[in-house]
């Protein structure tokens, strides 16, 4: 009796005996082995692995911000789109991989008729496979590998989107805090200017000040008033942007009150000495998996030049009596192999191979550019980190000096030993210095976030490993 299980097993074993994929070698790193050094860069003394292994929950030390990020990871619609794309890529890989196995089906048939000699009854039960292509030259396995690498690329893109969402949410939170602090300073300056304006009006009434002093005092008041109105709108827009990232409305208790004087919201991010850490960045991994997929497509294009063997086979039982179909039925079987040899394709196969090779060259360049871009992002962030403390110290000293200058200038004006213009200039200088100090603090905190993202933070092995079928690792 024909055993179709043997046919299935042999067809699977015959498939994939040969792989025509080019041997994959990761392109050489197009950047320096170590980070830049110089006056702008602080010396690094860590091993550089901490950024990847630093989970975002440990990186974000502020409890309210951590809660906002958790909400964003659950509710953000862009991240949901990314997750759907990953699931789609996984399904596409499973579809492609299914072509490596025969599709076995079972059919039952019954026929009844009448001739001049009497009634005719026939029953049959068959199982078999139809037009299964034996993967003798590895074409289907190459396509399966390409689909698998595309799935991994999509997974890496999903991790990059997740990391980007964390960074964008944290940056939006810092921006809202900074603008809230700017608004508070504008209101404080407006109140101080109002008191100065009232003082000059009283001095004008008793003849010891001029109308010019009153109008000069009013200028700083009106400027602070304009800034306060503008920043009120800006803070509302900042909240809208943060809630868009969060994917839902946020409670007031989760919003920042002001920007802290010191960075107490984020942990320090170790950068290390070696730029090799960039190879584990999600976007770099995405580019490499895309390159590997293109490499596998070359193998599939090469296999198209060789013969393809398809197999149709069936086996089963037939009987004229339904009740005896299983016990006494007649064994029937058929095997029909087909060999197809491409003789003339009008250059299609050659063109497909040229296209696949050109695509690989394209993705090599894309991979190298991604690494170079990543290196620049880290180097830029390190340059800011190496100089930001000096800027903060200098700006803080400037605010202190401007505050003292304003206090002295105002006291001298009140005593009538100096003009109001000097007091006005001192107040403007203080106002500008306070605004710049907040902007510098914002830059410091935003740079910590940027460095964490640029180093691929939180993408350690445990978190970054995708869930894939075990057989896919063949």
Q: Report pLDDT digits (tens) over 372-418.
A: 999 999 999 999 999 999 999 999 999 999 999 988 888 887 777 77
Predicted pLDDT of residue 323 = 59
**pLDDT(329) > 70:** no
Residue with tokens 């914002």: 442
Contacts of 24 (CB under 8 A, 6+ apart): 292, 295
Write the class of the CATH domain 31-100+137-306+348-473.
mainly alpha
Predicted pLDDT of residue 469 = 42
Which DSSP state fits 321?
A: S
As a whole number, mean pLDDT of residues 251-256 equals 94
Predicted pLDDT of residue 259 = 94
β-partners of residue 264 are none
Residue 117 phi/psi, 5° resolution?
-95, -5
List Cα–Cα distances, 98 to 12, 75, 91, 186, 249, in angstroms: 12, 34, 11, 66, 44
Predicted pLDDT of residue 333 = 67
Predicted pLDDT of residue 50 = 63
Distance CA 107, CA 116 (A): 30
Task: Categorize the per-residue pLDDT at 470 as very low, low, confident or very high, splitting at 50, 70 and 90.
Answer: very low
- Taking the CA atoms of 132, 134, 139 and 140 in sequence, report the sign of the dihedral they define: positive
**pLDDT(142) > 80:** yes
Kindly report the average pLDDT of the chain as a whole number: 82
Distance CA 252, CA 262 (A): 23
What's the start-to-end Cα distance of the chain, in Å?
Answer: 34
Domain ranges of the chain: 1-18+103-134+307-341, 31-100+137-306+348-473
As a whole number, mean pLDDT of residues 316-333 equals 63
Predicted pLDDT of residue 2 = 45
Distance CA 37, CA 51 (A): 20
Task: Categorize the per-residue pLDDT at 210 as very low, low, confident or very high, splitting at 50, 70 and 90.
Answer: confident
Domain 1-18+103-134+307-341: which CATH number of 2.20.200.10, 1.10.8.60, 3.30.1490.20, 3.40.50.720: 2.20.200.10
Predicted pLDDT of residue 107 = 75
Distance CA 159, CA 456 (A): 9
Distance CA 212, CA 224 (A): 19
Q: Are 99 and 308 in contact (CB under 8 A)?
A: no
Q: How many CB atoms lie within 10 A of CB 208?
A: 11
Q: How much is the pTM?
A: 0.83
Q: Angle at which helices 139-205 and 211-246 pack, to 10 degrees?
A: 160
440, exposed or middle or buried, with CB in 10 Å at 0-12, 13-18, 19+? middle
- Report pLDDT digits (tens) over 160-206: 999 999 999 999 999 999 999 999 999 999 998 888 878 878 777 77
Comparing CA positions, the residue from 21, 98, 38, 35 lying closest to residue 377 is: 35
Comparing CA positions, the residue from 245, 275, 229, 280 lying closest to residue 68 is: 245
Predicted pLDDT of residue 198 = 80
């Amino acid at each position: 009796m024909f055993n179709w299980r043997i046919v299935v097993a042999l067809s699977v074993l015959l498939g994939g005996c040969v792989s025509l994929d080019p041997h994959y070698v990761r392109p050489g790193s197009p950047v320096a082995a170590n980070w830049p050094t110089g006056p702008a860069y602080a010396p690094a003394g860590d091993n550089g692995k901490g950024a990847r292994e630093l989970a975002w929950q440990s990186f974000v030390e502020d409890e309210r911000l951590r809660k906002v990020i958790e909400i964003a990871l659950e509710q953000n619609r862009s991240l949901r789109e990314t997750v759907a794309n990953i699931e789609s890529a996984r399904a596409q890989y499973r579809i492609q991989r299914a072509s490596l196995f025969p599709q076995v089906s079972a059919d039952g048939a019954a026929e009844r008729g009448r001739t001049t000699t009497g009634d005719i009854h026939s029953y049959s039960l068959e199982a078999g496979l139809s037009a299964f292509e034996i993967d003798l030259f590895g074409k289907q396995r190459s396509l399966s590998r390409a689909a698998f690498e595309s799935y991994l690329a999509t997974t890496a893109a999903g991790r990059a989107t997740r990391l980007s969402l964390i960074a964008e949410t944290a940056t939006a939170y810092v921006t809202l805090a900074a603008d809230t602090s700017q608004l508070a300073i504008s209101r404080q300056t407006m109140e101080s200017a109002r008191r100065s304006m009232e003082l000059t009006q009283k001095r004008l009434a008793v003849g010891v000040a001029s109308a010019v002093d009153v109008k000069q005092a009013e200028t700083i008041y009106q400027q602070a008033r304009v800034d306060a109105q503008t920043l009120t709108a800006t803070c509302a827009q900042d909240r809208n942007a943060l809630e868009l990232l969060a994917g839902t409305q946020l409670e007031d208790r989760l919003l920042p009150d002001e920007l802290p004087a010191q960075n107490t919201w984020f942990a320090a991010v170790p950068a290390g000495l070696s730029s090799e850490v960039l190879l584990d960045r999600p976007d770099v991994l995405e580019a490499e998996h895309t390159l590997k997929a293109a490499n596998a497509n070359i193998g599939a294009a090469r296999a198209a030049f060789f013969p393809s063997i398809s197999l149709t086979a069936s086996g089963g039982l037939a009987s004229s009596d339904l009740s005896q179909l299983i016990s006494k039925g007649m064994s029937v079987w058929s095997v029909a192999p087909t060999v197809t040899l491409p003789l003339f394709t009008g250059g299609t196969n050659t063109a497909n191979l040229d296209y696949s090779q050109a695509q690989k060259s394209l993705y090599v360049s894309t991979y190298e550019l991604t690494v170079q871009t990543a290196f620049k992002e880290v180097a830029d962030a390190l340059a800011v980190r190496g100089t930001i403390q000096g800027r903060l110290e200098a700006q803080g000293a400037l605010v202190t000096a401007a505050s003292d200058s304003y206090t002295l200038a105002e006291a001298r004006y009140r005593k009538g030993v100096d003009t109001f213009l000097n007091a006005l200039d001192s107040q403007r200088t203080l106002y500008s210095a306070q605004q710049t100090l907040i902007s510098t603090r914002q830059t410091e905190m935003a740079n910590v976030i940027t460095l964490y993202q640029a180093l691929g933070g939180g993408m350690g092995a445990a978190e970054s490993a995708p869930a894939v079928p075990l057989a896919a690792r063949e």
